[in-house]
Structure formats: C-alpha cells, structure tokens
Structure 1
Amino acid sequence: MGLRWESVDPEKREVRVWGQRQRVRGEAYEDAPQGRRRLQTLPLPGICVAPLRWQRMRQAAMKEDAREKWEETGYVFTTRTGRPVEPRNVHRSFTRVAKDAGIRVVRLHDARHGTATLLTSAGFPPRVVMEILGHSQIAVTMNVYTLVVQDTQREAVGHTDRLVRGRRGRS
C-alpha cells in the first residue's frame, strides 16, 4: 500500500521498496518496513509489468473522472479520488478475490510465507530468499517464513536412503 509510482521501473523490471503504509490504533502513517532503514531494490516479475501499466492507465482515467476532487499522492494503488487505500479495504478485496477464485482465504501477510516456501522448495538458496523478503538475518527467513513441504521431506529421506544403500552395496 506504500508503493509509489516513482519506485516502479517497468522497463528495468525493478521496484524500489522504501516504506510501508499502515494504520495502527486508528492512525495512518508511513515507515520503513519492520526496522529496515535502507532502500531495497527488487526485480519485478514479468507477470507484474502489464498489470502495473494497466493500473497506471486506470488511475489516469480515475483522475480525469474525479477532476478537482483528485488528490495527487503518488501512490500506485489509490481510491477513486487519489487518496491512499485503507488496509482493511485491501484485506476485504483480497478475501473476495480468494473466495471468487475458489482458494482458501488466508491473511494477506501469509503471501510472504507462501513466497518463501515456494522459493525454498524450488531450490533457491536461503540467502536469495532472505534478500527478496528483506530480512537482515537468515534465521528469520528460515525459522519464521518457511514451511517444510512434505514432498521435499520425502525427497530428502529418499536421497538419504539411496546414499545408505549405495554404501552397503560397496561393503
């Protein structure tokens, strides 16, 4: 919700994460994500480029419709009048989209857990996953944000089984 157009570069396929927008005890504010005080540049998946371009066009149409009611904030995702989107409304939309797609409804933040788990089970090094998630310590990534996928457990045990059998055959 804190993503601004100035932080998105679709040509380079990069996004610069410098802050987050949230509401705590009724007060909206922007801050660096959980103790991180540095700018983080991340590669932007190709699948995100077209939707971001579509969002820019959609927002230009909303600005035209709103006329003098439009408030220029620079945010990528806004209300019809350019104001920042409320976190609870994002949650409602995310829940509706998940239900419409027939998938289990989870907390939006759980998408980070899912990303870490998918990248880890795809064989990407924990250090790479840590950098993508913006953690300062690898222990956070591995202990909090990854789940051991059962197929990966079976594969590891199967590999151990093959190693042990191979040694027995040599004796």
Structure 2
Amino acid sequence: MPTSARDPYRSLTRVAGTAGLRVIRLNDARHDCATLLTAAGTAPCVVMEILGHSQIAVATNIHAHAGQDTRREGVSLLDRMPGRHRPDRG
C-alpha cells in the first residue's frame, strides 16, 4: 500500500497526542537533534550520518546552531589559552 508524504507527521501527531506532548514539525525535530548532538560534543561526521546528509557542511551549517552557553564556553576556552594577552582591568 503506498504511503502519503504526510504519514510520518500524522504518526508523530498521534504519538505526541497520546503522550501529552506538544506537536512540532519534523524538520524542527531534526534541527533540535542536530543541535543537541553538537552541544554534547558529537563528531560532525556522526551528526551527518544520523541526519542522513551527504556532506558534513549541511549538518553543521544548516541544522546545528551553537546556543548561548556553548558560545560562552568557547570564549572561555580562548580566555584560558596559555600566553593569551589579558589587558589590565583596573
């Protein structure tokens, strides 16, 4: 029996409704998945494979966006680098 392109969304809606969860678009779920995997330190090639992309750039540039905490952590790592010039704050 052929399936409709909307069948996965209908299934998600049904499962979410049964579980009492808010329904989101499937693409939003993919985006959230990529973002969470990236924030957890998952290698970009693994994120790419999980999402089914053919290139790492798609997974890293389109789906995964660093959250505010991740950006702060990155800047903090730079600040702690040996030899980093720190201006006087006095």
Q: State the 1:155 CA deviation.
A: 0.3
Report the counterpart of residue 70 of structure 2 in structure 1: 152
Say whether 1:89 aligns with 2:7. Answer: no
Equivalent residues, number: 83
Evaluate the alpha carbon distance shift between residue 91 and residue 143 of structure 1 in structure 2; reply closer, same or farther with a 3 A threshold. same
CA shift at 1:94, angstroms?
Answer: 4.6
- Indicate how the Cα distance of structure 1 residues 120 and 156 shifts in structure 2: closer, same or farther if over 3 A, else same: same
Q: Distance in 2 between matches of 1:115 and 1:91?
A: 15
Aligned partner letter, 1:23: A
Bigger relative contact order (CA 8 A; separation at least 6)? 2
CA distance in 2, matches of 1:94, 1:109: 17
User: 1:94·1:108 contact (CA, 8 Å) conserved in 2?
Assistant: no
Q: Which residue of 2 aligns with 1:129?
A: 47
Contact 2:47 2:59 in 1 (8 A): yes
In the TM superposition, structure 1's runs of 4+ consecutive aligned residues that sit over 6 Å from their partners are: none
Ranges in structure 1 where 5+ consecutive residues have no aligned partner = 1-20, 25-85
Q: How does 1:1-171 map to 2 (within 5 A)?
A: 21-23=3-5, 86-97=7-18, 100-101=20-21, 105-163=23-81, 166-167=82-83, 168=85
Instruction: Give the TM-score normalised by structure 1.
Output: 0.41
Are the aligned partners of 1:135 and 1:141 in contact in 2 as well (CA < 8 Å)? Answer: yes
Structure 1 residue 135, shift from structure 2 partner: 0.9
| Identical-residue share of aligned pairs (%) | 48
Separation (CA, whole Å) in 2 of partners of 1:109 and 1:127? 19
2:54 and 2:35 mapped to 1: Cα distance? 18
- Amino acid paired to 1:93: R
Tell me if structure 1 keeps the 8 A contact 2:12–2:23: no
Structure 2: 5+ residue stretches without partners? none
Query: C-alpha distance in 1, partners of 2:63/2:4?
Result: 21
Structure with the higher fraction of residues in strand conformation: 1
**Structure-2-length-normalised TM-score:** 0.71
Higher-helix-fraction structure: 2
Rg larger in structure: 1
